Every structure is written in structure tokens, then in C-alpha cells.
Amino acid sequence: MLLGVIADDFTGASDIANTIAKGLPPHGGLRTAQFLGVPKSPAPKDVEAGVVALKSRTIPVQDAVDQSLAALYWLLDQGCQQIVFKYCSTFDSTREGNIGPVAEALAETLGAKGVVACSAFPGAGRTIYMGHLFVNDRLLNESGMQNHPLTPMTDPDIRRWLRYQTKSPVGLVVHRFVTEGAAAVRTALNDAAAHNTLVIVDATSDEDLAVIGDAISDHKLVTGGSGIALGLPANFIKKGLATGTLNRSLGTDGPEAILAGSCSGATRGQVDLHKANHPTFAIDVDKVMNGYTTADEIVTFIRENQGKAPLAYSSGTPEDVRRMQEKYGREIVAEKLDNLFAETARKLVKSGITRLVVAGGETSGAVVSALDLGALQIGSEIDPGVPVLLSGGETPIALALKSGNFGTPDFFTKALERLAAR
């Protein structure tokens, strides 16, 4: 294995696995596999890039550090020459969050300084300029992310936000250096390494990310969103360590289900469009908290509507979410919903569901952890950042794990079509 990734949630892991498997023309990507948690056995020998998916974004800091270091040691044992710590392109965190502590722990273990921190993903509208993160034409704190139920982002200055979490100052390489090319970025990072462990790097386009990727070809550690991996496969291919490969068409036939637990604006819009023409089950949080809505009820609804792209969702407005959190407690609501979706997914697969679309990072983490599918093959891209995933075994399961803000309005029906065998 050449390239190892530690991802702090399951949708993010799929996102960066897709980026690495796809790569950039004319080189293509690397043979990539996604692992659900730290594997207990070696990776298959033909895997060139391995993505370890953790559910560490919102857990206690020390737990996140410990899990990330365990993933690091496993990846190093597989022979990885470069490590990527992947977090969300909207830098999902709090002032007391895990991104800074995990990044610093990985850097200390690897003896790395001047480590890139770049969450830009222009293909999904995330760009960084002068250290400030934009979502399309809005600053991060005006994009809807300020209303996130677990990681509200109220400051677009990523250098300042990251500094709340770190022991050392955070540097910045501004866009001017990126436009001057890889050599200029390399020099700026080397200069920053004298004072900074982590360095924010501006990027407003895929071309910028390719320049940054070229500049950090010999870095032991890289951190950022999936976009930061865009130029990394080419480095190994140019060195003759990999031959490059194109995404494969993967999928399976069989019954389908959609589960949505994200409250993002994009997911709510996708739910609204889908329910206009398909059967939907709205999960009432009050009924969940009081034990009236169960996994069996959701499974029955989905099985009764097979072949019609049935959707079960819990995707309230920011006001609805805030009201439920105030009534029951933020962590209690999140845990109850995660457990509901996990149990529902287990029972759906046991009942014969083989195509499953899941929306929401926390929801995807709960679902995939419950299913325990082992290594997942990376297939073609459904929408930017969301690939087809296929499990092994006698009865393969085809998955699409979508971060809340990702995907076009018709994502749900499109994803089910792409998950089918072709």
C-alpha cells in the first residue's frame, strides 16, 4: 500500500476514496479500498490506497486521537509512504473539536512540520481564500453550517478556528503562492515549518489542488478535505510505484431503500423532491424518543413499498432540531436516532435489501458500523464526492453514503440507479 487515509467519518471516507480512485487525467487514480474501522488483518496485496473510516468527528478528543493513532500504525504496517488525515470540506468541528488534536498527534508521531491543512473541495463549492472558507458564494458561517446540530460553524476564518484546538500557531500559505506553482508552495511550506505544525493553504480550483499535491509529494502527512488528495495519485504514478487505473462500474441488483438522517439544506431539498413522487416515511423525533416509532415499523414500510424507491427520513429544519435538542438533550437525541437507523439498516439487509442509500455523516457511520461489511470496493462517481461502494461476500451490498450537503436535488433516485448492476 502506498497511500493511507484516516477519515473522521464514513461519508468522508467514501468521498476521499472516490477522489483517489478517480485521480486526474491523464494519470488516473490508485486501486483503492475503504475499510470500516481499523482492520484486524492485513490489506489485500493489490490495494494501492487504503482509507480507514472512523466515526471520530464528534467523540471525546482523546478517544479520537487514540483511534486515529491506531489507524496510523495499521497503515504504516501496510507500507504506506504518505498519510492523509481527512476531515469535512466544511471543517465540521467546534472550538473544542478533534481536528487540531488529531492532526498534531499524527504529526508528532510522524515527525512532520509545515503540514498542509486544506479542506477545499471546489467541485462541491468549497473554496479557501485568505484562510477563509466559502461554500459557493457564501462565507462558511452564512452557508447554513452555522445551524449544524452537532458542529455549528460560526467562524469562516479556518486558521483562527483551528488555532483554538492546537498547541502551536497555525500558518497560512495565501493564494498568490499557489498561483506561482508547486515550487513556490513548497518554499512557503518549508518556511512555515520553522514555526507551525499545521498550515492552512488557499485553494479555489482543482488546478490549485493539483499544484498543492505536486508540492507535497514527499510530505509524510497531509490533512484536509477530499480535494487535497486530488493530485496525490499522480505523484506515485510518476515515480513508477503505481500504474494508474480508472474507476470501475460496480453495483448489484435487488431491493432498495433510502435512509436520510441529515438536517442540511441540501438533504432537506432532496427529501422534498423525492417525496413528491415516491413513498416516504417521516420519522417523528418525539415518537422515537418515547418509543412509539421503531425499526420494525420503518422496515415494514420500506418492504411494503419495494420497487418504488421508498425513503425513511429524519430531516427537520434548524428550528425543529433546536427544539428537540432543548427538550431531550443534543447527545441523547443523536444517539437515539443513530441507534434507530442502525437497527433499521441491520433488519433491512437481513430482509434482503441489497441497494442502500444513506444521507448524513453520523447516520452513515451508524449504519455502516451496524452492518459490519468489511472492506468496500470503490466504484464510479454518482455525484462529486459520492461513489458507488460494493461489499464482498456471497450477497454483495451496494451502498451510497452521502454527506448532508452533497448531491444534486435528484440524488436519491440517481443513486439507486447507479447502485444497480450494469
pLDDT per residue as tens digits for the range 234-265 = 999 999 999 887 657 789 999 999 999 988 88
CATH node for 3-238: 3.40.50.10840
Number of H helices, E strands in the chain: 15, 18
* Residue 34: burial class (beta carbons within 10 Å; 0-12, 13-18, 19+): buried
CB distance 64 to 82 below 8 Å: no
Q: With contact defined as beta carbons under 8 Å apart, do 310 and 336 qualify?
A: no
Strand partners, 171: 199
Q: How does pLDDT run across 321-360, given as a tens digit for each residue?
A: 888 889 999 889 889 999 999 999 999 999 999 999 999 9
**Once rounded to an integer, what is the mean pLDDT over residues 179-204?**
97
As a whole number of angstroms, the distance between CA 347 and CA 341 comes to 10
Residue 206's nearest CA partner among 214, 197, 198 is 214
Cα distances (Å, whole numbers) of residue 251 to 24, 212, 388, 389, 400: 23, 33, 7, 8, 10
What separation in angstroms does the CA of 383 have from each of 62, 123, 264, 405? 34, 10, 17, 12
Measuring CA to CA, how many Å separate 220 from each of 81, 82, 301? 7, 5, 49
Q: What percent of the chain has pLDDT over 90?
A: 74
pLDDT tens-digit readout, 365-381: 899 889 988 889 898 88
CA atoms of 413 and 308, how far apart (whole Å)? 10
Cα angle 81, 115, 143 (rounded to 5 degrees) comes to 115
Is 128:203 a contact under the CB 8 Å cutoff? yes
More confident residue, 140 or 194: 194
Q: What is the mean pLDDT of residues 166-189?
A: 97
Taking alpha carbons only, the member of 116, 114, 100 closest to residue 8 is 100
Q: Indicate if the pLDDT at residue 279 is higher than 70.
A: yes
Distance CA 238, CA 155 (A): 39
Whether residue 5 contacts residue 50, with contact meaning beta carbons closer than 8 Å, is answered with yes
User: CATH topology for 256-419?
Assistant: Molybdenum Cofactor Biosythetic Enzyme; Chain A (3.40.980)
* pLDDT exceeds 70 at position 6: yes
Pairing of strands 132-135, 138-139: antiparallel
Report CA-CA distances (Å) from 186 to 13, 95, 114.
Answer: 27, 29, 10
If you average pLDDT over residues 74-84, what whole number do you get? 98
d(CA 29, CA 231): 9
Quick one: cell of 78? 501496510
Nearest to 373 by CA among 348, 392, 346: 392
Q: What is the pLDDT of residue 24?
A: 85
> How many CB atoms are located within 10 Å of the residue 338 CB?
20
135 dihedral zone (left: phi>0; alpha: psi -120 to 50; beta):
beta
Exposure of 273 in the CB half-sphere (CA atoms within 13 A): 14
Q: Where are the domains of the chain?
A: 3-238, 256-419
User: Residue 219, class by beta-carbon neighbours within 10 Å (0-12 exposed, 13-18 middle, 19+ buried)?
Assistant: buried
First-to-last C-alpha distance (Å) of the chain: 29
Query: Beta 386-391 vs 398-402: how paired, if at all?
Result: antiparallel
pLDDT score of 126 = 93
pLDDT digits (tens, 9 = 90+) for 282-319: 999 999 999 999 999 999 999 999 999 999 999 878 78
Place of cell 509545515: 114
Q: Residue 247 has what pLDDT?
A: 56
**DSSP E strand stretches across 236-362:** 256-260, 280-282, 311-313, 355-359
Q: Which residue is associated with the grid cell 427544539?
A: 323
Among 411, 360, 362, 348, CA closest to 382? 411
Look at 94 and 280; give whichever has higher pLDDT. Answer: 280
